[in-house]
Amino acid sequence: MRLEVGNILIKEIQFGDRTEVKEGVLFINREELAKVTGEDDRIASVDVYLAKPGEEIRIIPVKDVIEPRIKVSGKGGVFPGLISKVDTVGEGRTHVLKGVAVVTTGRIVGFQEGLIDMAGPGAEYTPFSKTMNVVLKVEPVEGLHQHEHERVVRLAGLRAAEYLGRAGQHVEPDHVEVYETKPLLEQVKEYPDLPKVVYVYMLQTQGLLHNSYVYGVDARQIIPTFIYPTEVMDGAVVSGNCVSACDKNPTYIHQNNPVIQDLYERHGKDLNFIGCVITNENVTLSDKERSSNMTAKLVEFLGADGVIISEEGFGNPDTDLVMNCYKIEEKGIKTVLITDEYAGRDGASQSLADSTEKGDAVVSTGNANEIIKLPPMKTVIGYPEVADIIAGGTEGSLGEDGSITAELQIIIGSTNELGYGLLTAKGR
């Protein structure tokens, strides 16, 4: 599959009479966006805000972050199976409003949600303090079940992103990037002397508001399967989970998966990027065994010399990570793992809930248990009181002055396990 990604660089966002892009500025018809977002009888109200880098704004709790994109040519549309039909995506051309993000908030859905600070020390830990955010406060009707509440807000955010993305449909991009993965035999023959690398892409699927969607299907119901990397860029994978904010992959990060982009950057130079195997993170032992068996079998079938495995979440999914690592290594295929750590506030505890001696190449994206104090913000969009109950916070985390003292896991993307974050490390 060959996908052209046309990046339209947005320098400013403003409310205006029409939703359109002019000279690098995204103008947004506020009322029209609210109407499109709220096209669901289960939504009581939608409020639209703008939050820009450097402004003293806190968004809490955050449900999802989505990048506005639109298909210009090729099959299907954005977010297939949810917003568009289920045509296979990943080819043709897609236009992106680069620098803009749709952020959904409102009453809390699940306890593992988080926050985005647009300024102050918290802004240094989230990539979404650097985007110009169109914030949607979506309030459901009374009495809505938790799972239905999650679905309502998820679809509302996707509708909004598709609506804004349409503003770039007829705009000439500032630059176009081309990504291509050929059918397996062609791909292998193209670079026969380079090591063949497969990316094992673990998706959060533990249930109880810990779900991801592939072409609209709850990934908990799938068995591991091959997917072209360009399909991911076109919105085939969507977040629907309320896993801890620090290592959750919002839809935006799926769309901009840095592992996929880095592998494409090195493709044809020092490796041959064969493609992705998507797999789930299960709860029962038999399900974990089944998925890890199938993942290892697929990787072997593809003829991989090396595999990169990324995780989403922590604790229970650590076992899926370790099983995938062990079974792939047992086939003589080298692995590299990407994960964050829950090593205690002092960093002295065991980092993962499971381990294997074969997991001897691991990239850490940070310790989510570290404590941070966030100063009060002039403006809060959402409900600051949830700081006391969401993962990373405790009773008393929210100070009387509006400050928050909590673990890093309270911040969206602070220890993201795809490496889409701002933390770095250096040797002593």
- Residue 70 CA to residue 93 CA, distance in Å, equals 9
8 Å CB contact between 15 and 47: no
- H or E stretch covering 186: helix 184-190
10 Å CB burial of residue 428 (0-12, 13-18, 19+) is exposed
User: Which residues, at least 6 apart from 186, have a Cβ–Cβ distance to it below 8 Å?
Assistant: none
Q: Helices 146-165 and 30-37: crossing angle, nearest 10°?
A: 140
Q: Report how far apart, in Å, the C-alpha atoms of 272 and of each of 200, 255, 266, 268, 328 are.
A: 15, 22, 8, 6, 18
Whether 242 sits among the annotated catalytic residues: the reply is yes
Other residues' Cβ atoms within 10 Å of the Cβ of residue 396: 10
Other residues' Cβ atoms within 10 Å of the Cβ of residue 58: 26
C-alpha closest to that of 324 among 373, 290, 275:
290
- Residue 101 CA to residue 51 CA, distance in Å, equals 10
Helices (H), 313-407: 316-330
Q: Which single residue is written with the structure tokens 């176009």?
A: 176
Token pair recorded at residue 195: 């090591």
The length of the chain, given as a count of residues:
428
Catalytic residue list: 242
